[in-house]
Amino acid sequence: MNTHSAPLIAKNLVKRYGEQTMALDGVDLRIEPGESVAIMGPSGSGKTTLLHSLAGVITPTSGDVQWKDREMSSMRDGERTRLRRNDFGFVFQSGQLLPELPCVENVALPLMLQGTSRVEAVNRAMPILAQLGLGGMESRRPGELSGGQAQRVAIARALITTPGVVFADEPTGALDQHTSAEVMEILTSSTRAYGASLVVVTHDPNVARWCSRTVMMQDGKIFSEFRAPSDATTQESAR
Amino acid sequence: MNLLHLWVLLRKRTREANRDFGDPGAITGVLTVIAFASVTALLLVVVGGVGAFAARAELPNASENAQTYLVFAYIAAGLLLVPLATMGGAAARLIVARRDERLANLRLLGATTSQITGLSALDAASQSIAGALLGAVAYFGLIPLVGLVPFEGHGFGFAELWVGAPLLVGVVVAVVVLGIASAVLGLRRVVVSPLGVTKRESTPGLGAIRLAVLAVALIAMVVATSTPAASIAFIAIVLVIGLATLNVVGPFFVGVVGRLYVSGARSAPDLLAARRIIDDPKTAWRSVGGVALATFIAGLASVMALFSKASNPEEQLFMTDVSTGGYLTLAIAGVLAAISTGVTQAGRVISQREQYRNLHLAGAEVEVLEKARMRETVVPMVAVVGLALGASALFMLPVLGAGFFSSIPVLLRFVASVVFAVGLVLLGAGASRGLARAAAAL
């Protein structure tokens, strides 16, 4: 059971940069435990700003994000950093793995940052790598992996702390279509298996289709949302 | 738009971006200029010092030790040339640290090789010229201070330490050429593969051939010890062999230290620091190699006290002056080591800024990242001081015997000198703290 499971609730989020730029203009969003949500929209619509606000990376100008009955705006910077370390996982488009660490240590690093010993952290990282099809690659460095393999390592790293929510910002942006589908299949199935919610920022409808719900953004607002007609299992059999 | 206009436009926009967005990269420009200024100023001081001793040796009333003073001045200058060149290289690397991505983008847009080369040369020239000119001005400020240090009973006047206009211009030009050449020579990756993602495959270990160098040095030392120990030329050979060996063996030694460190690493900061040392032992050595030299020099300077039982006042004055010269060389080496460490660290932070930011975004405390960064310097430094101590002992014991270790005042002086050098280097490493925090900022 995922002890970090809880709803993530955004209320009337507003984020202003300078005098004129309104990145978020009154956004309400509720993400249930175990749900997968895609945030789509054109460039400049506020997708990444919304993701960063939900993850406690930035504080909104007004409005709030609630996690486990606490409002993130009331947290100090150190508390939000701890939150990101203990309760959330992150998958970026690129540049997230440390090139000097072998894969198993990249995956183990979040646990070590929590204070877990290296031996225990590595022992916990090995089976996750095997589950994601990377058994035997533990000692390889990120530069020796393909793009898809590197993203699987990133997913393993995001999941090792058993997070409540995994945030993915354009996780397949640097991959070809076939590899993108593989990565999304692993991302959605593994987050589901770990009982974590998934929030994916993407401009690609083929990526959004893997999530159970899609919200569409424009000019800092959510203007529509819809639920996927089928879940990932159905998509897999259709392929 | 011609190349110069394009360069001016890019510089202007970069300054605006730095001002508007607090780009930490703005600091690198300042650090680069400081590094080139330091190289220029200290090189001029060293050359001026040698010239001053040479001039005194040619005076009609020169003392009988004047030529010996000159030889020691050459030895000190030789010892300092390596860290001077190392820091010049570090400054040049800092110029290129941030520019590859921008130049690669220009290349993808269709800029030709000659345009990229020209822009890079203009960038390097502007910073190295600014640094070299600032260094020349600083040299004028340093002359009165250096002149206060007495040799043969009195300090040096301005005219004695002044290198002359032609040499001043020559040094300034040499520093500028160094900066431009380094920037242009480092362009190959941008020109050949602008889309290239840095592929960090397993780092090939530094060859154990470097240990063979040490073996050769030891053999040379054995041969040299057959020469009567009183010969100045013998001491010079000992020093040159020692210094050359340190610089060749150093990176290999640091790599071994990194591997030992990683096998015992338990915490995140230790693991990160150890892996970074293993990933790039040459840069790790460059960060702390100056301390090795300073420790070596500290050993020499302290050891002079063993010969302080002079039989007459002239001999006493000579030995005191040799010791003074040793400590002056140590002070310059310590300052060079500190600036070199600061510049190298700044370059590392800039090249790793995306990782810093992503780690902090994923929940790593900035303090943890800072601990890793400092351990990346401190661990090799402690090991390197040990190596330099060993090298000092290895090369000095056949000459001086165990008397070095039995004299408490000598040992205390030695320890104080090493602490001074280490403290300066830690100061240099800590100078990048603000840059690292800014790089991690979300």
Q: What percent of chain B has pLDDT over 90?
A: 22
Note whether A110 contacts B363, CB cutoff 8 Å: yes
Instruction: Kindly list the residues from chain A whose CB atom is less than 8 angstroms away from the CB atom of residue B365.
Output: 78, 81, 113
Instruction: Kindly list the residues from chain A whose CB atom is less than 8 angstroms away from the CB atom of residue B202.
Output: 141, 144
**Helix H or strand E segment including B241:** helix B232-264
Q: What is the pLDDT of residue B306?
A: 60
Half-sphere exposure at residue A96, Cβ-oriented, CA atoms within 13 angstroms: 28
Residues 6+ apart with CB under 8 A from B171: B40, B43, B44, B47, B132, B136, B163
Q: What is the pLDDT of residue B231?
A: 60
Rank A161-170, B234-243, B301-310, B413-422 by mean pLDDT and report only the highest: A161-170
Note whether A141 contacts B200, CB cutoff 8 Å: yes
Reduce the DSSP state of residue B117 to 3 states and report it. helix
Confidence of residue B346 (pLDDT cuts 50, 70, 90): confident
Q: What is the pLDDT of residue B8?
A: 79
Note whether A113 contacts B365, CB cutoff 8 Å: yes
Q: What is the pLDDT of residue B18?
A: 63
User: Which residue, among A22, A60, A8, A20, has the nearest Cα to A221 in the 3D structure?
Assistant: A22
Q: What mean pLDDT comes out for the span B49-62?
A: 90
Q: CB–CB of B360/A90 below 8 Å?
A: no
Exposed, middle or buried by CB within 10 Å (0-12, 13-18, 19+), for B322?
buried
Note whether A90 contacts B272, CB cutoff 8 Å: no
pLDDT reading at A157 higher than 80: yes
Residues 6+ apart with CB under 8 A from B344: B90, B93, B283, B286, B287
CA distance B332 to B436: 27
- Hey, is the C-beta of B101 within 8 angstroms of any chain A C-beta? no
- Per this entry, what is the length of chain B? 442
Note whether B354 contacts A95, CB cutoff 8 Å: yes
Residues 6+ apart with CB under 8 A from B75: B235, B236, B239
Closest B-chain CA to A56: B361
Burial string for B107-137 (b: 16+ CB within 10 Å, else e) reads beeebeeebbbbbbbbbbbbbbbbbbbbbbe
Closest A-chain CA to B281: A100
SS3 sequence of A81-137: HHHHHHCEEEECCCCCCCCCCCHHHHHHHHHHHCCCCHHHHHHHHHHHHHHCCCCCC
B131: which 2 tokens?
């640094």
Q: CB–CB of B77/B47 below 8 Å?
A: yes
Which residue reads 């050993």 in tokens? B299
**Helix H or strand E segment including B50:** helix B25-57
pLDDT reading at A179 higher than 80: yes
Q: How many CB atoms lie within 10 A of CB B45?
A: 22
Q: How, if at all, do strands A36-40 and A197-202 pair?
A: parallel
- Return the biggest CA–CA distance within chain A: 53
Instruction: Kindly list the residues from chain A whose CB atom is less than 8 angstroms away from the CB atom of residue B21.
Output: none
CA distance B341 to B431: 9
User: Which residue, among A184, A185, A204, A187, has the nearest Cα to A196 in the 3D structure?
Assistant: A187
Note whether A83 contacts B272, CB cutoff 8 Å: no
Q: What is the pLDDT of residue B396?
A: 64
- Hey, is the C-beta of A81 within 8 angstroms of any chain B C-beta? yes
Exposed, middle or buried by CB within 10 Å (0-12, 13-18, 19+), for B226?
exposed
Reduce the DSSP state of residue B178 to 3 states and report it. helix
* Radius of gyration of chain A from its Cα atoms, rounded to whole angstroms: 17
User: Which residue, among B28, B159, B94, B6, has the nearest Cα to B436 in the 3D structure?
Assistant: B28
Among residues 266-285 of chain B, which lie with CB inside 8 Å of chain A? 266-268, 271-272, 275-276, 278-280
Range with the poorest average pLDDT among B12-21, B34-43, B321-330: B12-21
Q: What is the pLDDT of residue B390?
A: 77
User: Which residue, among B138, B103, B143, has the nearest Cα to B124 in the 3D structure?
Assistant: B103
B425: which 2 tokens?
């280097």
pLDDT reading at B227 higher than 80: no
ipTM for this model: 0.84
Q: What is the pLDDT of residue B392?
A: 72
Q: What is the pLDDT of residue A235?
A: 45
- Per this entry, what is the length of chain A? 239
Range with the poorest average pLDDT among A155-164, B337-346, B397-406: B397-406
pTM, rounded to two decimals: 0.81
**Distances from the Cα of B432 to the Cαs of A83, B6, B342, B347, in angstroms?**
27, 31, 7, 9
pLDDT reading at B108 higher than 60: yes
Confidence of residue B217 (pLDDT cuts 50, 70, 90): low
CA distance A41 to A139: 39
Note whether A90 contacts B361, CB cutoff 8 Å: yes
Burial string for B400-417 (b: 16+ CB within 10 Å, else e) reads beeebeeeeebeebbeeb
Q: CB–CB of A152/A183 below 8 Å?
A: yes
Taking the CA atoms of residue B35, residue B39, residue B44 and residue B49 in that order, the dihedral angle to the nearest 10 degrees is: 120
Please report, as a single letter, which amino acid is at residue B363: G
Note whether A78 contacts B266, CB cutoff 8 Å: no
CA distance B289 to B283: 10
Which residue reads 């000659």 in tokens? B114
Q: CB–CB of B351/B395 below 8 Å?
A: no
Q: CB–CB of B310/B328 below 8 Å?
A: no
Mean pLDDT over the full length of chain A = 90
Instruction: Kindly list the residues from chain B whose CB atom is less than 8 angstroms away from the CB atom of residue A109.
Output: 268, 271
